[in-house]
Amino acid sequence: MKYRILGRTGLRVSAVGLGTMVHAGHFGPMDDRESLSAIETAMDLGVNFIDTSDAYGAGYSETLLGQALRGKRDKIVLATKGGNVMVGPDRGKRNFTPDYIERVMDESLKRLQTDYVDLYQLHNPTVDVIERGDVWEVLERAKKAGKIRHYGVSINTIEEGIVAVNDGRSDAVQLEYNLLAQEPAEKIFPLAQKANVGIIARVPLRRGILTGKLTAADDGRFQGEDVRARSFKGEPFRRELEKAEQLRFLVDRNIQTFAQAAIAFCLAHPAVSTTIPGARNAQQMRENAAGADVTIPPEHLQRLDELWHGSLSS
């Protein structure tokens, strides 16, 4: 495994990390034994950055991760997030009031069975929240108290990312960046590099599209709590598959799988400190981790740039 520095935090993180949203069943039913196997395999492979959230299964992923890290906490750079309300009458809303964030942070620490996290992120804050400031005071107090070592944001839009970097208080910004969502490289990464803000690239496999394993027939199984039931069904899913087909040339004698090519693409940008694909099981974790050891040739990167400014961005 290769390692990089997460911006100004100074944290040494694995180039390929592990995202744990999948372990809460957000991409179809999961078996805890497979989830725990994926986490154990990640650590065996040198993966030391694991990202979770209190929103994943209303704390389920944090609880599972806490079990997996028992006695191994010191081997992991641990990140979690808060701000999405997942239980009670306000379920589905976001809350970044100081009292709420202070409370859910403590609840996350209990589920994770630790007295601190290395990175605490506001989970999808609006521009107003990022700029307003009162929630940052809570994070700074928590840092001084030793509950968190660093803090930042996980954002949804380009505008939020630009504001977060320019605001100056986020040590790291987590955002979607992949072969089919390259906007951050043009609009956010240069700002982040200048400010030494760490970039965590999430969704490198585009909800499974960039594994090369999904077909149009899979549309029917995106049901219930599967997040793809909301965003990837029907025509949008078909268009994503068609775009992905244009990228098959990335798999060659040096890069064995589409997933590894997609991960290597994320890591090809120097602004990216780590990318956090999910892994349902040990086999997927091994495949993902291997993405850190392959390099996309310059001529392929050039072709990708041409495609992005043409058919991929439409």
> Is-catalytic flag, 56?
yes
> Which is the catalytic residue, given 3, 56, 116, 177?
56
**182-201 residues labelled b (16+ CB within 10 A) or e (exposed):** bbbbeebbebbeebebbbbb
- Structural tokens at position 294: 């392959």
Q: Are 187 and 158 in contact (CB under 8 A)?
A: yes
CB within 8 Å of 139: residues ≥ 6 apart: 101, 120, 122, 148, 151
Q: How crowded is residue 18: how many other Cβ atoms within 10 Å of its Cβ? A: 29
Q: How crowded is residue 294: how many other Cβ atoms within 10 Å of its Cβ? A: 17
CB within 8 Å of 70: residues ≥ 6 apart: 113
Rounded Cα distance between 275 and 263, Å, is: 7
- Structural tokens at position 108: 């996350």
Nearest 5°: phi and psi at 41? -65, -40
Q: Are 151 and 167 in contact (CB under 8 A)?
A: no
Rounded Cα distance between 170 and 8, Å, is: 10
CB within 8 Å of 37: residues ≥ 6 apart: 281, 282
Just list the catalytic residues: 56
